[in-house]
Amino acid sequence: MTTEYLDYTAARQTIPYEKAGQETCVTVTFMKLCGKAYSLTGDSVFLDQLETSFYNAFMGSLNEEHKHSKALLKTIDMSTIKESFLPFDSYAPLLPGARGTMAGGAQQFRDGTYYGCCACIGGAGVATFLDNVWQAETDCLTVNQYVNGAYGTDEFRVTVNTRYPAAGSISLQVCARNKNHTLKLRLPGWCKNYKLQSPIPYTLLDGYLVLNGPWTGEQTLALDLDMPVVAIYPMKWDKTTLFTTRNPDPTTSSLFIPTEVTYDDAQSHFVCFRRGPVMLALDERLGADPAGTFQPVVNDDGTVSCAENPAEYPQIAPKLSLLCPEASGSFPLIDFASAGKDWESKMAVWLATP
Ligand SMILES: [Zn+2]
């Protein structure tokens, strides 16, 4: 897969690509597009996409360990750099590779500091996600993302308490003066089974649990979203034409040279894993080679019975740490956003299968 082209990327994720992929600028721009599309259509499918982008590609780009990219060291004379770091990484691998390989659009300022395109747009990613957490209309409050906090007005207020997305249990305390206020709770697209314990009745409509009251003072709801680990396989496709190679001849009308590509089964023997909105990854510091071959035990319904991993790893503090069963033994997985954060260790989302 490539950085930022419309090049059949979703279908071609397991095909090796020598340059860096998954640019943070693209992630943030996609999140903004999803937020706009949701506000125009009210279709929560766009919030599903926004959520997945935020918890995985975006959170993975946070430069929590204050690293320099290796490419930056090559292109800018470090002796002239005023020591600092960029807050967001630019690219992340899905196949075995490392983070921090390039700083997109890196430029040095006169005072010795430097910046890049992804570092500039990163802040908008936080804002775009938070802008879509909840939505208040006359007599209706919609909770779109499950983040700790209190939302609403004195008329109708909801306080959310949860470890989501590390867990699927969400407690909602409702404080209502307006007894006929509507509360809408988004049911994420990935969620196949849920339980809502509620003192008042609810209906499921267009991806939302809808509660119309009557509310009486303070009441508590408990929403439990079932979050099994599920196995995901590469898409099957036929052939397509890509327009990603620039035409060196400026006199022609076509800016790009068409390249035909065809599905190759040998490049599709991979599997990856998702738990709720969170993609899982293997970081080599967990003690297994992300470029190895794995034989996970997948249940008939596509779920995987992963166990919590009790092991402690001195250099990683993952939000999720699981053991994926194999016919004999198991291999470790952590949340993608926590993997490879030292910008050196090899990591992968897609793992090769026989
Ligand atoms: Zn960028």
User: What's the CA gap between 282 and 320, in Å, rounded?
Assistant: 12
The whole-number pLDDT of residue 4 equals 60
On whether both 110 and 158 belong to a single domain, the answer is: no
Find where tokens 């080679």 sit: 289
Q: Which residues contact 279 (CB under 8 A, 6 or more apart)?
A: 52, 56, 272, 273, 335, 336, 349
Burial (CB < 10 A; 0-12, 13-18, 19+), residue 17, is middle
Of 84, 114, 129, the position where a domain reaches its end is 129
CATH label of the domain that carries residue 219: 2.60.40.1180
- State whether residue 226 is helix, strand or coil: coil
On whether both 63 and 158 belong to a single domain, the answer is: no
User: What's the CA gap between 143 and 193, in Å, rounded?
Assistant: 19
Which of 122, 162, 153 lies closest to 135, judged by CA?
Answer: 153
**Pair 87, 119: CB distance under 8 Å:** yes
Ligand 1 geometric centre to CA of 10 (Å): 19
Report yes or no on 235 lying in a domain: no
Q: What is the DSSP letter of 54?
A: I
Ligand 1 geometric centre to CA of 122 (Å): 9
**The pair of three-digit structure tokens given for residue 38, joined into one six-digit string:** 């949701």
Of 226, 259, 289, the position where a domain reaches its end is 226
pTM: 0.94
User: What's the CA gap between 351 and 349, in Å, rounded?
Assistant: 6
Domain membership of residue 203 as a residue range: 134-226
Report yes or no on 288 lying in a domain: yes
On whether both 142 and 220 belong to a single domain, the answer is: yes
User: What's the CA gap between 285 and 314, in Å, rounded?
Assistant: 9
Ligand 1 geometric centre to CA of 226 (Å): 35
Ligand 1 geometric centre to CA of 303 (Å): 35
Could you tell me the end-to-end alpha-carbon distance of the chain, in angstroms, rounded to an integer?
Answer: 22
Ligand 1 geometric centre to CA of 167 (Å): 31
* pLDDT tens figures, 284-301: 999 999 999 999 999 999
Report yes or no on 346 lying in a domain: yes
On whether both 30 and 124 belong to a single domain, the answer is: yes
On whether both 124 and 52 belong to a single domain, the answer is: yes
Report yes or no on 312 lying in a domain: yes
Ligand 1 geometric centre to CA of 54 (Å): 16
Ligand 1 geometric centre to CA of 27 (Å): 9
> Count of domains in the chain?
3
Ligand 1 geometric centre to CA of 24 (Å): 6
Ligand 1 geometric centre to CA of 120 (Å): 8
pLDDT higher than 60, residue 1: no
On whether both 184 and 208 belong to a single domain, the answer is: yes
pLDDT higher than 60, residue 3: no
How much of the chain exceeds pLDDT 70, in percent? 97
Ligand 1 geometric centre to CA of 71 (Å): 14
Of 226, 253, 277, the position where a domain reaches its end is 226
Q: Average the pLDDT over each of 63-77, 193-207, 231-245 and give the range with the smallest value.
A: 63-77
Report yes or no on 278 lying in a domain: yes
On whether both 148 and 66 belong to a single domain, the answer is: no
**The pair of three-digit structure tokens given for residue 292, joined into one six-digit string:** 């190895």
Ligand 1 geometric centre to CA of 212 (Å): 44
